[in-house]
Chains A and B, each alone.
Chain A
Amino acid sequence: MTGQMILANRLTDGRVVFLAADGRWVDDIAGGAVATAPGVASQLLATARVAESRNAVIEPCLIDIRQVAGHRQPVAWREAIRATGPTVRTDLPA
């Protein structure tokens, strides 16, 4: 499955969050809404822009995702790193 999701940074702590179908922002990519049909992506983006104007998040953007081994993964490497965290210092507690 391919599709698009909304990724942003949360205002209070800057953490990466995904827009869920009910308008909440969630930490886990698995909980975010995926737009597969035309028009849905722009609706998600419009919702995200409202959240941005209400200062919940910063710089929301649409990202392309695909399914890899049963998990959602951003297509772009940069966004994949944002979604899963740095590839280094995984020894230290989050």
Chain B
Amino acid sequence: MYRYDEFDHTLVAERIATFRRQVQRRLSGDLTEDQFKPLRLMNGLYLQLHAYMLRVNIPYGCLSARQLRQLAYIARRYDRNFGHFTTRQNIQYNWIRLDETPDVLAALAEVEMNAMQSSGNCVRNITADQYAGRARDEVEDPRPWCELIRQWSILHPEFSYLPRKFKIAVSGAPVDRAAVKFHDVGLYLRRNADGVVGFEVIAGGGQGRLPYVGHTIRDWLPKEDLLSYLEAILRIYNLGGRRDNPQKARIKVQVNALGPDEFRRLVDEEWAQIRRSALLAVPRAEIERIAAYFADPAWEVLADDPVAVTRQRGVDPGFDDWYRANVVAHRTPGYAIVNLSLKAPGIAPGDLTADQMDKVADLADRFSIGELRVSHRQNLVFPDVRQGDLPALWQELRALSLATPNIGQLTDIIACPGLDFCSLANARAIPVAQDLSRHFGDAAVLQDVGELTINISGCMNACGHHHVGNIGILGVEKNGQEFYQLTLGGSSGEDASLGDRLGRSISAADVPPAIDAIVARYRALRLADERFLDTYRRVGIEPFKEAVYGARAREVA
């Protein structure tokens, strides 16, 4: 993992000292809320419905056991004993006091964490494939590049007041687990025809009120040109983004208004001016220095599929279910990537209590070389588990309710905080997810249905990624009541697509039966082991419309 150097330590410490003074001036009345609000937002502190919320960066989703223990301490000492992992691989605390926020930031700094740029119109936390560095299908580890971008973008003087927020995701694998095409800029590490690794650059993707799949604006970019090219993109956006209208201020609107070709031309023109700048070149020594932080651990020489695991799979269907759903191939023989499901039936997606955090940290030390990851689907990952340890780890995770065998399946639901916490919400999202996870709790049904994602957002801002759920659920408000609009066919993967609206919105009580009807229709229509998404793409929306509305008596206008 990356470790802070003296610059990082000094920068973060100075930032906390400044914010401590700003908080004191706010509390003493020297600053009004209007003056203070942008300052607190720069430090990740929002005011939500019930209290302040602090969003803490987890850079590209990488976390150490030591850091997780400190997150547990913060949850216990400063919050209500829990934290919420988000679709941006961050963690949010929902009950932080303003007067204690500088102390929380200081506690974070002790373990090399911060909340800088987790809000505001700047480059936000860089996100990545949660299996980075471990996936068998990976071309190259994206984490050193994420760290490079983080260092370049933190307090970048030219990009601290962008027209709107700016999100960058990086994947080193052809299978997209990071929703790369739905970011302001998305990067795939790819080999060109000569076998040289560089970046495919995608721009103008995003969700929210105006969702777009990003456009490839460069098929292949040499790695050493990454920062100059990103700088050129940000400059074109900074100059041309719609500052007059916050709804249209994201780069996706600019890219789609100009058209990808014209946007590309502008970027190339700018890039030609700065490409040779020594400041923006990526010296090989520097990227090697950063990459050294992500060097492979000293893996043992082990064989795949140890007898203990195959035997356990044979005799214990519960273990076998978990193995098939939550364990992923590792690039090193004898090791496995293990997903910890934060989606047990009835649990708020992405929530972890302080006690669970402490215990997960202990398990990470015992089973995963002290490291873990956060996925954008709001789960945790142990990246380095010896396969022979899987039965023991499974038992431990079961005791913590973190072994539900549902990764990528019907009850692995993404849900934003919604109207239970968020001041922008139209409707609640978490209770809908809880209902659905209880409703579809039967492991046999989950297994039979297979890969099917459900994503829920409490408003059009789409933090719950509803546009790209195979089934999307969007909370809307009508005459003071909560209703839910369904979309079908979204995908955040390499086969990216936006969901199609199914029809009129339905009540919360009608959501589980509607999903039942959709799932039943899929099971009736699928060919062999066709995924839901593929069946949907083959047969279209009509059979599902008929399944939901044809059978629904309580449909509402």
What residues of chain A have their CB less than 8 Å away from a CB belonging to chain B?
9, 11-16, 52, 54-55, 58-59, 75-78, 81-82, 85-89, 92-94
Contacts and interface: CB of A to CB of B under 8 A. Distances in A.
A77 B480 contact: yes
A85 B50 contact: yes
B431 A89 contact: no
B265 interface: no
B348 A88 contact: yes
A64 B352 CA distance: 36
Contact of A13 (B29, B33, B99, B428): B99
Nearest to B31: A55
Interface in B328-383: 348, 351, 353
Nearest to B52: A14
A9 B216 CA distance: 45
Contacts of B223: none
In this complex, the interface size class of chain B, counting residues with CB under 8 Å from chain A, is: 20 to 34
Contacts of A81: 49, 419-420, 428
B505 interface: no
Contact of A77 (B81, B353, B482): B482
B31 to A, nearest CB: 9
B51 interface: yes
A94 B348 contact: no
B308 interface: no
Contact of B431 (A14, A82, A85, A87): A87
Contacts of A94: 80
B52 to A, nearest CB: 4
Interface in B58-113: 80-82, 94, 96-99
B33 A58 contact: yes
Contacts of B481: 77
A69 B361 CA distance: 46
B420 A14 contact: no
B351 A15 contact: no
For B33, B50, B348, B419, the residue with the greatest tally of chain A CB atoms inside 10 Å of its CB is B50
Nearest to A75: B480
B47 interface: yes
A54 B430 CA distance: 36
B421 interface: yes
A78 B32 CA distance: 26
B93 to A, nearest CB: 12
Given A14-B47, A14-B97, A88 B419 contact: no
Contacts of A11: 26-27, 98
Contacts of A13: 51-52, 97-99
B420 A76 contact: no
A86 B80 contact: no
Given A14-B50, A15-B50, A93 B80 contact: yes
A54 B29 contact: yes
Contact of A55 (B26, B353, B480): B26
Secondary structure dominating the interface of B:
mixed
B416 to A, nearest CB: 12
Contacts of B353: 92
Contacts, number: 79
Nearest to A58: B33
B457 interface: no
Closest 4 CB pairs of A and B: A86-B420, A14-B51, A14-B52, A13-B97
Contacts of B425: 78
A94 B33 CA distance: 26
A63 to B, nearest CB: 12
B50 A86 contact: yes
A92 to B, nearest CB: 5
Interface in B21-60: 26-27, 29, 32-33, 47-52
A13 B51 CA distance: 6
A58 B425 CA distance: 19
A9 B430 CA distance: 23
A56 to B, nearest CB: 10
A38 B420 CA distance: 33
B434 interface: yes
A41 to B, nearest CB: 20
A14 B98 contact: yes
A93 to B, nearest CB: 7
A14 B480 CA distance: 25
6 contacts: A14-B47, A14-B51, A14-B96, A76-B480, A82-B49, A94-B80
A12 B99 CA distance: 6
A9 B434 CA distance: 28
A92 B82 contact: yes
Given A11-B26, A77-B482, 10 more contacts: A12-B27, A12-B97, A13-B52, A13-B97, A16-B49, A82-B50, A86-B94, A86-B420, A88-B420, A88-B431
Contacts of B27: 11-12, 55
Contacts of A54: 29
Contacts of A58: 33, 47
A91 to B, nearest CB: 9
Nearest to A76: B480
B82 A89 contact: yes
A22 B99 CA distance: 26
Nearest to B428: A87
Contacts of B49: 16, 78, 81-82
A13 B419 CA distance: 20
Contacts of A52: 33
Nearest to B100: A13
A49 B229 CA distance: 49
A42 B432 CA distance: 38
B482 A87 contact: no
B51 A55 contact: no
Contacts of B32: 55
Given A15-B50, A16-B50, A89 B99 contact: no
Interface in B483-520: none
